[in-house]
Chains A and B, each alone.
Chain A
Amino acid sequence: MKRLLLSVMVLSLMVCVSSPAFAADKDDTVRIGIFLPMTGGVAAYGQMEYAGIQAANKIKPTVLGKKVELFLVDTKSDKIEAANAVDRLIKKNNVHAIIGEAISGNTIAGAPIADKAKIPMVSPTATNPLVTQNRQYIFRVCFIDPFQGEMAAKYVYDNLGSRKAAILVDIAQDYCVGLANFFAKSFILKGGKIVATTYCQTGDQDFTAQLSSIMAQKPDILYIPNYYAEVALACKQAAEIGLNVPVFSGDGAQAPELIQIGGKDVEGVVFTGHFEKKAASTELAKKYIAMYEKETGKEASGFDALGADAYFVILDAMERAKSINGTKVRDALANTKNFQAISGTINIGADGNAVKSLVLIQVKNGNFTYLDTVNP
């Protein structure tokens, strides 16, 4: 009986599937697909970016006189699902453009599909150089690891006068490994010395052993290019064991949780980020920050701002192309010049990568404070 019931369940679901989905084929809306990790290991970043995109959609709900409709599909932080998601967005939801993914690896899994279907895709935070390599329709609004690593090394060497750097890197994240590597290369090139490189893995919460062995090498700067929660924990533990050296981090640190978790122990941490609330110069940024805080009650972070930027950049390209045709939007995207986005002025280079200025931010008195802007 049970078995019969189960079989009926299976069959009925299968029938459900085979019936054509109710894909809205009306042309009075502009459909933007979003594929982000809403569950799984990196769900935090996907959820943050989606919140940003939603706020952006509230600010600007129409383009070319049509309503913008968002289609979110979850990738479960997984490559197979990411590839399915992109194919689904294109074929089932007939989207005109795609935003995603948060992680380089999953973006790379979706990229060839969008490329083949000639649907432009903009990633908010995939920083690995390989993402846009040899791809016509893939773009991003964040800066890539080599640029950020180089700028970080330059600032640490020139402005802070550090010569002996230690690195604590999350070896399970391509973003962290990439950034650490480019930082180290540039730092050595400038004449600095990497006295210790040690590793942790996503999910680990105890870094005391790594930090103690770093302490034995007496560095004068600690570079932790990990995500905000890990950076905060590492700073806390460094303070606990008495490793009192300045900490430098990357754009993965830009989230209010850094201060919420780290408390007074992240005081003085400097990182390369995308924008700073008070120094935000563009009109869009001010609107966005107000809207985001109204919608979510939280402080805007780098992740959600980049999610929103991906949305705005696509809409801007559509407006300039005066079309939602994939190829035309692609050409417009590739010609994005001086777009006043939330995270500063964005130019899209020939390879689909954003060329934009970088902001140095420091935690001071429990707040992010603006230090400096570095232009590429």
Chain B
Amino acid sequence: MDPHHKRNQLLSLAGMCAIVLFLLYAQTYGTSYDVRILNNCALFIILAVSYNLINGVTGQFSLEPNAFVAIGAYTSALLTLTPMEKEISFIIEPIIWPLSVIHIPFIFSLIAEGVVTAIFGFIMGFPVFRVRGDYLAIVTLGFGEVVRVVANNAQTVTNGPLGLKGLAPYTNLWWSWGFAIFTVFMISRLVKSSYGRALKAVKYDESAAEAVGINTFWHKMLAFTCSAFFEGVGGGLLAHLITTISPTLFTFFLTFNLLIMIVMGGLGSITGSIIAAVFVTWGSEVLRFVEEPMHLGFIDIPPVPGMRMVIFSLILIFLMIFARNGIMGTREFTWNGVIDWIQKYVKPAGKGT
């Protein structure tokens, strides 16, 4: 048992209060643009942390989060839209029966979409985990594409490419950050548990893990299903933030964004994923200046739309070449670490003066 357990709990509590205060401040004084970026940050924390559970912690490199997010988003949207709203949205083909009348409150829809996505992830896990390595990546990518194709075609359920619109904007700072904190809490508990240690064993050496009695298949399934649950809820929150969804939202592009985040943060580090999710979400808004016309003294640089994506692709390549461990490697943020760090660096400096 950690001798500083009590202290760390208190510090965590203080940290939470700080976040709540910050959110309150943002809610009151921030513009709707600031609030939107904060919401996006929280959503991408949820998505990146849960994606990292399967890719980083368990070491199973997969490319399916767009499928999970899509399923979560569609489930929640279909559940929270009122029958009237559905009727006016489905202008090409009417929606099929049970979905046309169902209408449940937002909170229940969050649970429902998590469960539906988790079930989907569980079923999908059976074929997916028969392969490993590069093949796993490609098969999961295939699943992502299949989900998108089905969403385009199944017009009586998803409204096809027209998508669903007019969702109530339920997602606010409290929902998104509340659930982000919940996700981080749950996943770090899982990683610290004996299951988590087994997952890490699977990552470093599958055969060795198998040899010490870990059922690698079921552990991978566990990670995959958990990841699916949180991705699904994240998808539902996303749907209710931007209030409209359609299959184009869930292309490989979404997965690419998440991939940059978890690679930048360090595959396997929850802390890293959080930092990188915030950094990429925020950074991609900041980087917009590269697409604006610039006046550098006497030279005028015309705007170059599209530079941001070039920069992000370069960042990904450079990370792989020069900083494969990302920001955090596989290390995590702990209060003990912080305090040790402070003691190590701040005290000598204090003595010096």
- Residues on A lying within 8 angstroms of B by beta carbon are 2-3, 6-7, 10, 13-14, 16-17, 38-41, 43, 47, 50, 71-74, 76-80, 83-84, 87-88, 90-92, 103-105, 108-109, 112-113, 116-117, 128-130, 133-134, 171-174, 176-178, 181, 199, 201
Contact = CB atoms under 8 A, between A and B. Distances in A.
Contact of A92 (B33, B40, B162, B279): B33
A91 B32 contact: yes
A68 to B, nearest CB: 15
A83 B163 contact: no
Contacts of B275: 10
A53 B95 CA distance: 39
Interface string B237-280: 01001111111110101000000000000000000000100010
Contact of B246 (A50, A72, A117, A174): A174
Contacts of A7: 327
Contacts of B40: 80, 84
Contacts of B248: 41, 77-79, 103, 105, 172
B149 interface: yes
A7 B276 CA distance: 10
Interface of B: 31-34, 36-37, 40, 88-89, 91-92, 149, 152-153, 155, 160-163, 165-166, 169, 238, 241-249, 251, 253, 275, 279, 282-283, 285-286, 288, 291-292, 303, 305-306, 308-309, 322-323, 325-329
A348 to B, nearest CB: 21
A79 B303 CA distance: 22
A173 B305 contact: no
Contact of B325 (A3, A174, A177): A3
Contact of A13 (B36, B245, B283): B283
A171 B325 CA distance: 41
A109 B242 contact: yes
Given A2-B323, A76-B253, A133-B88, A13 B286 contact: yes
Contact of B279 (A13, A91, A133, A181): A13
List the 10 closest pairs (A to B, CB-CB), nearest first.
A38-B305, A91-B33, A91-B31, A87-B33, A39-B306, A174-B161, A174-B162, A105-B246, A108-B244, A17-B286
B32 A87 contact: yes
A90 B169 contact: no
A160 B128 CA distance: 53
B33 to A, nearest CB: 4
A80 B238 contact: yes
B249 A80 contact: yes
A173 B165 contact: no
B169 A112 contact: yes
* Interface secondary structure of A, over-half rule: helix
A79 B327 contact: no
Given A84-B37, A90-B33, A177-B161, A201 B246 contact: no
A88 B33 contact: yes
A178 B92 contact: yes
B242 A79 contact: yes
A240 B326 CA distance: 53
B45 to A, nearest CB: 14
A108 to B, nearest CB: 5
B305 A16 contact: no
Contacts of B325: 3
Given A17-B285, A130-B91, A172-B152, 7 more contacts: A7-B327, A80-B242, A90-B33, A91-B33, A117-B32, A130-B165, A171-B161
Nearest to B34: A91
Given A13-B286, A17-B286, A74-B291, A134 B166 contact: yes
A14 B291 CA distance: 18
B288 A73 contact: yes
Contacts of B163: 105, 108, 174
B244 A39 contact: no
B327 A129 contact: no
Given A109-B242, A174-B161, A83 B36 contact: yes
Contacts of B305: 38-39, 47, 50, 72, 74
Given A112-B169, A133-B88, A40 B253 contact: yes
Contacts of B244: 79, 105, 108-109
Given A105-B163, A129-B91, A72 B291 contact: yes
A83 B244 CA distance: 10
Nearest to B305: A38
Contacts of B91: 129-130, 178, 181
B47 to A, nearest CB: 11
Nearest to A43: B306
Nearest to A129: B91
A17 B281 CA distance: 12
B275 to A, nearest CB: 7
A372 to B, nearest CB: 28
A136 to B, nearest CB: 14
Given A83-B242, A109-B242, A130-B89, A14 B33 contact: no
A297 B304 CA distance: 19
Contacts of B326: 6
A129 B88 CA distance: 10
A83 B323 CA distance: 33
Contacts of B241: 83
Nearest to B283: A13
Contact of B249 (A13, A78, A104): A78
B64 to A, nearest CB: 19
A72 B152 CA distance: 30
A92 B31 CA distance: 9
A171 B93 CA distance: 14
A177 B308 contact: no
A350 B105 CA distance: 33
Contacts of B282: 14, 17
